[in-house]
Amino acid sequence: MKPDEIRRVVLEELSNIAPETDPAGIDPGADLREALDIDSMDFLNFITALHKRLGAAIPETDYPKLFTIDDAVDYLASKRGLGRPG
């Protein structure tokens, strides 16, 4: 999956979690917990959705690697099998 596709999935899931917001409109380098007013339950739902959509194992200790949109895309792309073309 290409990084662009991963980014699309990330934005889609953020929209599902915070439908009142516009994730595409925020700074992709900003802490999305602040930018989108996301609490721990929202964040867990976000991780859960990414896990379901992409099959990525995301241990709790890696949560800080997904606090911005850019970081999340990089992290997911680095997971085996996700970042490769195809």
Residue 64 near other proteins by CB under 8 A: no
What values do phi and psi take at 68, rounded to 5? -125, 165
Point out which span in 4-12, 14-22, 74-82 binds other proteins (CB under 8 A): 14-22
If you count DSSP H runs as helices and E runs as strands, how many of each does the chain have, helices first?
Answer: 4, 0
Is residue 60 close enough to count as binding other proteins by CB under 8 A? Answer: yes
From 69, 58, 60, select the one nearest 14 (Cα to Cα): 69
Among 22, 24, 37, 78, binds other proteins (CB under 8 A): 37
**58 contacts other proteins (rule: CB under 8 A):** yes
Q: How far apart are CA 13 and CA 34, in angstroms?
A: 17
- Applying CB under 8 A, the residues found at the interface with other proteins are 18, 20-21, 33-34, 37, 39-42, 44-45, 47-48, 50-52, 58-61
